[in-house]
Amino acid sequence: MRSLAIIASLLLASLLAGCGLFPESKDETIGWSANKLYAEAKEALNEGAYARAVKYFEKLESRYPYGRYAQQAQIDIAYAYWKDQEPASAIAACDRFIKLHPNHPNVDYVYYLKGLINFNEDLGMLGIVSNQDMTERDPKGARESFDAFRELVTRFPDSKYTPDAILRMKYLVNALASLELHVARYYMKRAAYLAAANRAQYAVLNYPNAPATEEALFIMVKAYDALGLTDLRDDAERIMRRNFPNSAYYVRGLERKEPWWKLW
């Protein structure tokens, strides 16, 4: 009898729902004009209600895809996703806009925004708390950030976002070169000399103007010497002396008969 009562209750609930006695929540935006949708979305964005802003921007674009607000909504939704800690969705929105509107007057901002999203979003919340150095993280985000900024600088040299993008690119170059050195040092400590030399060489070839180049060349000299590759060692030392004639790495060998690199 108890089972029958439960079944009867479920059937009754299904009937009531079917009759519309438990209607779904009404969409408050029904009947809103494009202007109102955009205004409400921007207000939500300014208030920090990013999820609500995204919802309104999406409704705006779907209902008025050819209106004057649609393209701006596509830009704003990328920003809203970013602020709502949804970097993957934000980058996807940027890529979509760039693909659909490559000649839009504000596409330079979208490249800049994409660079910003990748610049620090791969750090994550734990990195923010621990103040982790970018040079100790996976370089994927840094490289993608650099590519976005480079595209901005190349295509839009007169953009108001270009000066800041250049400064960030310089930081990224130094960070990426330093990251290669982190790995090269790790290999040197474990006597993986060939791997260390390869990582140091990669830093020299790809980031020649980074401050880390000096140490990268030093690691190459040490690693090639350990491997018995004297020609490569001498080439690396020659390049190092030409570019860093006053390097601190030479100091210990001034009054000793042994090669300077053996004293480190």
Q: How far is CA 183 from CA 139, 174, 186, in A?
A: 12, 15, 5
The pLDDT value recorded for residue 45 is: 93
Provide the mean pLDDT of the chain.
84
Structure tokens at 183: 């790995």
Question: CA end-to-end span of the chain, whole Å?
Answer: 88
The pLDDT value recorded for residue 129 is: 36
Helix, strand, coil percentages in the chain from 3-state DSSP, rounded to 5? 75, 0, 25
| pLDDT tens-place string over residues 98-141 | 999 999 999 999 999 999 999 875 444 334 334 555 455 667 88
| pLDDT tens-place string over residues 180-189 | 999 999 999 9
pLDDT of 25 over the 60 cut:
no
pLDDT band of 194, cuts 50, 70, 90: very high
Higher pLDDT, 117 or 18: 117
Alpha helices (runs of H) in the chain, residue ranges in sequence order: 2-18, 34-47, 50-63, 70-83, 87-100, 107-121, 124-130, 140-155, 162-189, 193-206, 213-227, 230-243
Q: Which amino acid is at 205?
A: L
The pLDDT value recorded for residue 163 is: 97
pLDDT band of 68, cuts 50, 70, 90: confident
Instruction: Quickly name the fold that domain 32-102 has.
Output: 1.25.40
The pLDDT value recorded for residue 263 is: 62
